[in-house]
């Protein structure tokens, strides 16, 4: 992996007139943007043939800063828009940035059915465990007992696990990392970009302003340290399971990496068979 | 972030308060830098640029 300077990334990929970003100081969304652009740079992907699609939320602001075509769509509908883009012009590479609320709550059904169809998209979900933009309401991914502005005494609803959902429905590439794992994030995004079919990368990201403040987790630094401590790699986890031990830590790593025919290829075949 | 994650401890927290009310990191020991670019990766705000004098 080539270690390049930020100046190159800023020069080549960012809209300089839009900077600085609206993200709060220390927000992990900037890191995710950085990782994605580095992955794109490493793979030499033509940015003019790439479309970035997003819904609404802090995380969905990313396409606005990238110097390429982008769609900042409706809340929860990013994957629906992206499906349209991919079907209309299969030549394009379509990358979706979506928040946890965007992807798992209001956009949940689009998420499920895009995986079912296996459309060739790269979906990067930035999971900050909360609705960041609207002031910190409970999200479907908010862990039990966590405080949000709508659950001031702690959350009593069980959270959903987006990566496991993607795995169960049959996405050909699923991985989860945190912003404290930059190298792993970049290599997973690279694999996801190269995969033909629905690839899903979930990145746990600190939101110091809403989630961090309400749960007294301190600064971004404290939150990233917490991510490192409260997660466990899938390889270690499987070893532990084999030994009969369990843990309540969040499992991270690469969950699925298989080959599966995507919708566009299937459609092309189907169409030529008809003739 | 960079103060904590730099493997060679190039950065220290500065004593002066910036306009935004934070203590920004300061490059105290640039000669220790091994150009691993980890600080650039860890910084969420695109605030750091590691340059190699020999590149130019
Ligand atoms: C149809 C619709 N419903 C509700 C909203 C209000 N809204 C805007 S952003 C947001 C939450 C976004 O949270 P998430 O997707 O987790 O992204 P984050 O801000 O945390 O990155 C909501 C509910 C909206 N814009 N549109
Ligand atoms: S509210 Fe949270 S998610 Fe939104 S920009 Fe601020 S830190 Fe980031």
Q: What does the pLDDT look like over A191-221, one tens digit per residue?
A: 999 999 999 999 999 998 998 888 888 888 8
Which of A1, A5, A185 should one mutate to test binding to chain B, selecting the residue with the greatest count of B CBs within 10 A?
Answer: A5
**Residues 6+ away with beta carbon under 8 Å from B13:** B3, B23, B25, B26
Residue nearest to ligand 2 atom 5, measured at CA: A23
pLDDT, residue B16, reads 72
Q: Pick the residue from chain B with its C-alpha nearest to A38.
A: B41
Task: Specify the CATH number of the domain A23-274.
Answer: 3.40.50.970
Range scoring the smallest mean pLDDT among A144-148, A161-165, A182-186, B35-39: B35-39
What distance in Å separates the CA atoms of residue A172 and residue A170, rounded to the nearest whole number? 6
Q: Cβ of A5 and B51 within 8 Å?
A: yes
Indicate if ligand 1 lies below 6 Å from the C-beta of A70.
Answer: no
Q: Is residue B36 over pLDDT 90?
A: no
Name the DSSP letter for residue B15.
S
Nearest chain B CA: its distance from A191 CA (Å): 19
- CA nearest A150: which of A139, A158, A161? A139
Look at A59 and B27; give whichever has higher pLDDT: A59
Tokens of A39: 């992955």
Predicted TM-score (pTM) of this structure: 0.90
pLDDT at B31: 78
Among A1, A2, A6, A203, the strongest candidate for a mutation testing the B interface, having the largest count of B CBs within 10 A, is A6
The maximal CA–CA distance of chain A, rounded, in angstroms, is 63
Taking CB atoms and an 8 Å limit, are B1 and A182 in contact across chains? no
pLDDT tens digit string along A217-244?
Answer: 888 888 888 888 888 888 888 888 888 8
CA A24 to centroid of ligand 2, rounded, Å = 5
Tokens of A23: 């993200």
How many whole angstroms from its chain centre is CA A155?
23
Cβ A124 vs Cβ A203: under 8 Å: yes
Closest CA relative to residue A56, chosen from A133, A163, A127, A141:
A133
Q: Which residue has the tokens 């298989």?
A: A258
Residue B56: is its pLDDT beyond 50?
no
CA B20 vs. chain centroid, Å, equals 18
Average pLDDT for chain A = 90
Return the pLDDT at B12. Answer: 79
The verdict on B1 touching A (C-beta cutoff 8 Å) is: yes
Cα–Cα distance, A40 to A72 (Å, whole number): 20
Percent of chain A with pLDDT over 90: 57
Which residues in A135-275 belong to E strands, given as ranges? 137-138, 173-178, 199-204, 231-233, 250-257
What is the mean pLDDT of the segment spanning A66-70?
A: 90
- In chain B, what residues touch A224 (CB-CB under 8 Å)? 1, 42
Least Cα distance to A22 among A58, A51, A46 occurs for A58
Delimit the domains of chain A by residue range. 23-274
- 3-class DSSP state of A70: strand
List CB contacts of A98: < 8 A, sequence separation 6 or more: A54, A55, A57, A59, A60, A78, A79, A107, A123, A124, A125, A126
What is the least distance, in Å, from the CA of A235 to any CA of chain B? 24
Query: Does residue A34's CB lie within 6 angstroms of at least one atom of ligand 2?
Result: no
By the 8 A CB rule, do B39 and B48 touch?
A: yes
Ranges of beta strands (E only) in A143-195 are 173-178
**Candidates A21, A29, A204: which one to mutate for ligand 2, based on the most atoms within 8 Å of Cβ?**
A29
Report the pLDDT value the prediction gives residue B41, as an integer from 0 to 100.
82
CB contact under 8 A, A182 and B35: no
| A254 compared with A11, residue with greater pLDDT | A254
Q: How far apart are the first and last CA of chain A?
A: 46
Contact: B20, A25; criterion CB under 8 Å: yes
What are A253's two structure tokens? 């790593």
Please tell me the distance from the alpha carbon of residue A239 to that of residue A245, in angstroms, as a whole number: 9
Which residue from B1, B35, B41 is facing A34, i.e. has the nearest CB? B41
A149 near A132, Cβ under 8 Å? no
Locus of tokens 């409260």: A230
Question: What is the sign of the dihedral through the CA atoms of B12, B14, B18 and B23?
Answer: positive
Torsion A141-A143-A149-A152 (CA) sign: positive
A24 lines ligand 2 (CB under 6 A): yes
Can you give the pLDDT at residue B34?
Answer: 78
């Amino acid at each position: 992996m080539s270690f390049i300077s930020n100046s190159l990334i800023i020069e080549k990929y960012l809209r300089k007139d839009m900077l600085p970003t609206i993200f709060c100081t220390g927000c992990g969304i900037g890191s995710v943007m950085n990782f994605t652009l580095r992955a794109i740079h490493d793979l030499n992907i033509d940015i003019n043939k790439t479309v970035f699609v997003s819904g609404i939320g802090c995380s969905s602001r990313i396409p606005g800063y990238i110097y390429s075509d982008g769609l900042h769509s409706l809340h929860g509908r990013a994957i629906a828009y992206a499906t349209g883009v991919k079907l209309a012009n299969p030549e394009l590479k379509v990358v979706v940035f979506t928040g946890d609320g965007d992807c798992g709550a209001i956009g949940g059904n689009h998420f499920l059915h895009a995986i079912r169809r296996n459309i060739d998209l790269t979906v990067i979900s930035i999971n900050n465990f909360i609705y960041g933009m609207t002031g910190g309401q409970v999200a479907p991914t908010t862990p039990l007992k966590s405080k949000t502005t709508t659950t001031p005494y702690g959350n009593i609803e069980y959270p959903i696990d987006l990566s496991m959902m993607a795995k169960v429905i049959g996405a050909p590439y699923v991985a989860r990392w945190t912003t404290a794992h930059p190298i792993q994030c970049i290599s997973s995004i690279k694999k996801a970009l190269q995969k033909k079919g629905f690839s899903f990368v979930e990145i746990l990201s600190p939101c110091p302003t809403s989630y961090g403040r309400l749960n007294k987790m301190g600064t971004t630094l404290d939150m990233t340290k917490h991510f490192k401590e409260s997660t466990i790699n899938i390889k270690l986890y499987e070893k532990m399971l084999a030994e009969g031990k369990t843990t309540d830590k969040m499992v991270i790593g690469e969950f699925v990496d298989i080959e599966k025919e995507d919708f566009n290829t299937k459609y092309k075949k189907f169409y030529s068979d008809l003739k | 972030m960079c103060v904590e994650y730099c493997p060679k401890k190039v950065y220290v927290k500065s004593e002066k308060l910036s306009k935004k009310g934070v203590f920004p990191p300061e490059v105290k020991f640039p000669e220790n830098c091994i150009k691993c670019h980890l600080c650039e990766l860890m910084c969420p705000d695109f605030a750091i640029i590691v340059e190699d004098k020999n590149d130019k």
